[in-house]
Amino acid sequence: MELIYCSKAALLVEQLSPWTKFTPNSVNVDTLINILNKIQNVQYVIECCSKALISDYIQMRRIYLYAQQKIMQNIKVFIICNR
């Protein structure tokens, strides 16, 4: 399932681009975040967030804040596991 979610996330990132042929209402950031929540590979999630290009700066900020949250969670898990 991880590979399917990764592929879906990559497709959504592409569809959110301002140069895509999709209408802005057909894809939204909430859908992307829901898919990213299902991916265990934190590095891949961060890559998706960093590659996302969204013309709406508020939605772009949401993506970056989501990436920051995933990084912080990963750091906490790393610290707990290495005690």
Q: What are the extents of the domains in the chain?
A: 2-81
Burial string for 16-37 (b: 16+ CB within 10 Å, else e) reads beeeeeeeeeebbbeebbebbe
User: What is the pTM for the complete model shown?
Assistant: 0.85
Who contacts 73 (Cβ-Cβ below 8 Å, separation ≥6)? none
- Look at residue 38 and give its three-state secondary structure: coil
What pLDDT tens digit does each residue of the chain (83 aa) get? 999 999 999 999 999 888 877 655 566 899 999 999 999 999 999 999 999 998 889 999 999 999 999 999 998 888 888 87
